[in-house]
A = this chain, B = another copy of it.
Amino acid sequence: MTSHSHKISRRRLLGSGAAAGAGALAVRGTAAEARPRSRRTRAVDVVVIGGGFAGLTAAWDVMRAGRSVLVLEAQDHVGGRARNLEIAGGEVSERGATFAGPTQNEILALAKEMGVATFPTFAQGENVYYADGERTTYSDAGPLGTAPPDPQIIADLAQTIPRLNDMAKEVPVDAPWKAPRALEWDSQTFETWVRDNSTSPRFRRIVPVATRPIFGAEPRELSLLFVLFYIAASGDGQHPGTFERNFNTRDGAQMFRFQGGSQRIAIELARRLGSRVLLRKPVRRIDQDAQGVTVHSDRLTVTARRAIVTAPPAMAARIEYVPPVRIERDQLTQSLRQGNLTKVTAVYDRPFWRDAGLNGTAVSLNGPVNVAYDDSPEDGSPGVLFGFVGGDEARGFYGRPAAERREAALGSFANYFGPQALAATQYFESTWPGNRWHRGGPVGVAGPGTLVAHGHPLREVVGNLHWAGTETSSYWAGYMDGAVRSGRRAAAEVLAAL
């Protein structure tokens, strides 16, 4: 492949919107899009719905096994919830999934295979903790990791985290609903459990600071069982999951970043798949009979022996299945709503916070940004900060005028890193709940009763339909690693069945 065609291909897969500045992610449809025009038909062994990490990985495994495969992606780019945005100087900032960490073996191996190198998340210097106007700094090398050593929360932190980790050990990651106490844990919200098991009001305030970036949800919206599953899933089988591995940078899920941005892994994978990846092909309907499946997208119909649906459950619900999928699966897709999370990013000439001995990580009781990270390229130029605005903070955010949102987000950064943060050269928001094909992020979340009642159809094959996507992963569900794992698993199912 020539370097020219590489460039064209990269542009194609990165998406036409990739170079745009600030603005909504929402891809607005046009009237023409919903109406089939010149309808073509293709026939392959396996059709994959969705060109994110799950879909691309699945397709690649199918391709390497010598089977024919097509990936139908609704948007104009690959990568799903990972999305590069080009900023000044040809560098990129990640609008979606950014980090990887230890035990996320599958995404790390895939990145290596795709020639995408990792580098450590900038971690030299102190973390910032902000609480009601008081700013303190601390090292995440301490026993609490990224969690701040606030004397008002430390006692509750020290007794709840180990207890949650112990409870999580009883949750089978393949079937959380089979935990011995599944019914008890799925009958209550995480909020109820925290209230019953802590004493410090400030501790109760920091819990949503964790659940907002991790789930895009408040503790009251989450089943305790689902939270325990998520902790259990933050490992790889050899290393049992822990809350710390999920939340921390050091030795945790935020430890590594990818050169050129996380979406590059998907773009490289898609290049290898070549013409097997078709963009702008939203799937509306899937028919199946004993012979196989017929997948209808707006301008293309694909027949195949098997289909792998990688859309998040809430979006998979919006596909029409003929005959209908079983009731339990439909109810599951009605129950696992996409989290409410927006990422706000500010670009600066240089990472000025590093001069002050700060590593760019902040944890704050106050919003709109509750958690922030240094997102600068490896060489530190330009300086980039991003923050998560999730759950209740996100809901209050959307209704404000754009200039106010910017001021509020930069105000958070200024609280944490000093007034220079107000002088951003670029500011943009990645509003996943406003994206028509994602409707939220980072993950589909389960309220009480969902896993016990509807968990089992998550991966259950329905005739010729297989299910992937990060929500279906046993390990690192909600992360790029989970997506890759799910793609591998679904491809193996399909290949065994062909």
Contact = CB atoms under 8 A, between A and B. Distances in A.
Interface of A: 26, 28-31, 34-36, 183, 186-189, 191-192, 195, 217-221, 284-285, 287, 294, 296, 314, 317-318, 320, 322-324, 326-328, 330-331, 334-335, 337-338, 340, 391-392, 395, 398, 431, 433-434, 436, 439-440, 447-450, 452-453
A317 to B, nearest CB: 7
30 contacts: A28-B322, A28-B323, A29-B285, A30-B322, A31-B322, A36-B36, A183-B220, A186-B220, A187-B191, A187-B192, A187-B219, A187-B220, A188-B191, A188-B192, A188-B220, A189-B448, A189-B449, A192-B192, A218-B449, A218-B453, A220-B448, A220-B449, A220-B452, A221-B450, A318-B318, A327-B431, A331-B337, A392-B453, A447-B449, A448-B448
A290 to B, nearest CB: 16
B34 A284 contact: yes
A361 to B, nearest CB: 27
Given A28-B324, A448-B189, A331 B440 contact: yes
A34 B285 contact: yes
A334 B192 contact: no
Nearest to A342: B327
Nearest to A398: B327
A26 B188 contact: no
Contacts of A330: 433, 439
A28 B325 CA distance: 11
A109 to B, nearest CB: 33
A314 to B, nearest CB: 5
A189 B191 contact: no
A-B pairs, top 9 by smallest CB distance, nearest first, are: A221-B449, A447-B447, A334-B337, A187-B220, A220-B449, A327-B433, A187-B191, A29-B322, A189-B448
B398 A221 contact: no
A304 to B, nearest CB: 16
B187 A188 contact: no
Nearest to A392: B453
Contacts of A327: 340, 398, 431, 433-434
A427 to B, nearest CB: 19
